[in-house]
Amino acid sequence: MRRLLCALCAFALLLAGTRARAEEIVLTEGSDRWSAQTFAMDTLIQATIYAPELTREEVLEVMGNLSRLERLLSVTEPNSEISALNRAEGEAVQLSEETLLLLQTAAEVSKETGGAFDVTAYPLVKAWGFTQVEYRVPDGEELRGLLEQVGYERLVFSEGAVRAEGQTQVDLGGIAKGYAGDVLTRALRERGVKSALLSLGGNIAVIGGKPDGSAWKIGVRDPQNTEENLGYVEVKDANVVTSGGYERYFEDEDGNLWHHIIDPATGYPARSGLLSATVIGENGAVCDALSTALFVMGPEKAADYLAGRTDVEAILVCEDGRLLLTEGLKECFTPLGSAGGRTTEWICRREDA
Ligand code: FAD
Ligand code: MG
């Protein structure tokens, strides 16, 4: 469904006769808001900015960060800094401060999560065909060979540069949309915006609350019935980021479904007992990387990890019908339709967290 919407959006943009990058952003001006829509990072991006005082040029300038980041960070953009690193075969590569900082954040989260999120999982992601959309099921031997190249500790950072050992390659697909949300919200705040809602292919970033001052209500999709929300969270100045196996997947000849979140320990798409992991917090990049990591960890490990961390809240939808929520959500999560009949359990913080 998402792919269809994205394709329709791309088609609509094409029909609009777009040429230059800035024109690929469809802008609508309302009495109290700007609405912007574009297609970047292989996903539909929508922004509602409650700041009619901004000029068209200012909104375009803010949204233009998306194509700038894509040119810098995408593995499918041959001239991106990340592609240069992926071609370097063990040589150190000078990177812009922005790319280097994001890569360092990605490497830190990789370490923090014991490699559940691993920024060097790219050879595996490619082997399954997710980057090129040429899906295939690699055999065990191929995966074992690739696993030798995977490991965040194979990235060696130095002044202004990074070196990826041997054939190690990186992919920021699990963190860059969250980071893009950070960049856009920062740019909007710098222009005085007090209320905005951004959706980057399901990653939500909000500035402030709604124009009336109340909290934003952000729906959390039911992974087993994706037309429905299992509940909503009420947030201000936050990111709400979900990773799940139900959006990007393919079916092999034997009818097996394989999704795009790879367990870097096995090389196979993660089958951890979770259907989705939603992370809520102030730092979009961290929320994005953590949602991927928690999904790989599975319910027990993820709950244990969250019990030791206080800067994010999370909602874990388990295959066995449980809904695990961090205790900080007690006041701001509302189930809908009995959350699809799931039982709710709260994750309590450890005292030393
Ligand atoms: P998330 O859970 O946030 O991330 C999953 C993605 O992270 C996977 O798709 C994979 O790329 C990577 N990954 C998988 N397992 C792990 C792991 N254990 N640890 C770390 N990372 C992992 N898609 C295209 O098809 N074509 C494109 O040209 C393209 N260009 C892009 C350019 C940019 C700058 C970005 C950010 C994304 C682009 N994408 C593209 C989409 C991208 O490949 C991912 O599919 C997408 O970011 C997944 O986001 P998600 O929120 O669904 O899942
Ligand atoms: Mg992610």
**Tens-digit pLDDT profile for residues 7-44:** 444 444 443 433 335 448 999 999 999 999 999 998 99
Q: Are 142 and 268 within 8 A, CB to CB?
A: no
Using the predicted structure, report yes or no on whether residue 205 has a pLDDT greater than 70.
yes
Atom of ligand 1 nearest to the CA of 180: 36
| Residue 17: predicted pLDDT | 35
Alpha-carbon distances, residue 210 vs 43, 142, 216, 312 (angstroms): 25, 50, 6, 21
Give the β-pairing of 203-207 and 216-222: unpaired
- Measured from the CA of 292, which atom of ligand 1 is nearest? 2
Look up residue 111 and give its amino acid. Answer: K
Nearest-CA residue for ligand 1 atom 4 is: 174
Number of alpha carbons in the 13 Å side-chain half-sphere of residue 351: 0
* Residue 229 in this model has a pLDDT that exceeds 70: yes
| The predicted structure's pLDDT at residue 340 | 81
**Ligand 1 centre from 214 Cα, in Å?**
33
CA of 288 to the centre of ligand 1 (A): 10
Instruction: State the CB neighbour count (10 A cutoff) for residue 58.
Output: 17
The pLDDT of residue 13: 44
Quote the pLDDT of residue 5.
43
pTM higher than the cut 0.95: no
Q: Which of 4-18, 25-39, 99-113, 329-343 is least confident?
A: 4-18
Q: Which residues of 252-264 are buried (b: 16+ CB within 10 A; e: fewer)?
A: eeeeeebbbbbbb
Measured in Å, how far apart are the chain's first and last C-alpha atoms? 40
Higher pLDDT, 81 or 132: 81
Amino acid code (one letter) for 44: L
Give the mean pLDDT of 181-210.
97
pLDDT band, residue 1 (cuts 50/70/90): very low
Output the residue whose Cα is nearest ligand 1's atom 26.
Answer: 42
Q: How far is the CA of 302 from the centre of ligand 2 (A)?
A: 14
What distance in Å separates the CA atoms of residue 2 and residue 14, rounded to the nearest whole number? 18
Residue with tokens 């874990």: 316
User: Rounded to the nearest 10 degrees, what angle do helices 65-73 and 176-190 cross at?
Assistant: 150
Lowest mean per-residue pLDDT among 7-16, 94-103, 122-131:
7-16
**In whole angstroms, what is the distance from residue 29 CA to residue 59 CA?**
10
- Quote the crossing angle between the two packed helices 284-297 and 97-112, to the nearest 10°: 30
For 149-171, what is the mean pLDDT? 97
Task: Give the pLDDT score at 246.
Answer: 86
Ligand with smallest separation from the Cα of 130: 1
Return the closest-CA partner of residue 299 out of 328, 270, 327. Answer: 270
Pairing of strands 322-326, 343-347: parallel
For residue 232, report the distance from its CA to the centre of ligand 2, in Å: 19
- Strand, coil or helix: 37: strand
240, 253 in Cβ contact below 8 A?
A: no
pLDDT tens column, 288-323: 999 999 999 999 999 999 999 999 999 999 999 999
Question: What average pLDDT does the chain have?
Answer: 93
80 CA closest ligand 1 atom index: 34
Of 167, 73, 152, the C-alpha closest to 118 is: 152
User: Exposure string (b/e) for 127-161, b if CB count within 10 Å is 16 or more?
Assistant: bbbbbeeeeebbeeeebeebbebbbbebbeeeeee
Q: Which ligand 1 atom sits closest to the C-alpha of 203?
A: 51
> What ligand has the least distance to the C-alpha of 296?
1
Type of residue found at 91: E
**Which of 1, 6, 41, 168 to mutate to test ligand 1, by most ligand atoms within 8 A of the CB atom?**
41
Sign of CA dihedral 230, 44, 47, 316: positive
Reduced to 3 states (helix: H, G, I; strand: E, B; else coil), residue 286 is: helix
Q: How far is CA 166 from CA 59, 142, 146, 162, in A?
A: 42, 17, 11, 13
Q: Which ligand is nearest to the CA of 78?
A: 1
- Quote the pLDDT of residue 104: 98
pLDDT at 48 > cutoff 90? yes
Ligand 2 geometric centre to CA of 17 (Å): 33
| Tens-place pLDDT, residues 230-240 | 999 999 999 99
Q: What length is written for the chain?
A: 353
Pocket around ligand 1 at a 6 A CB cut-off: 41-42, 70, 73-74, 76, 117-119, 121, 125, 130, 133, 171-174, 176-177, 243, 247-248, 260-262, 264, 288, 291-292, 296
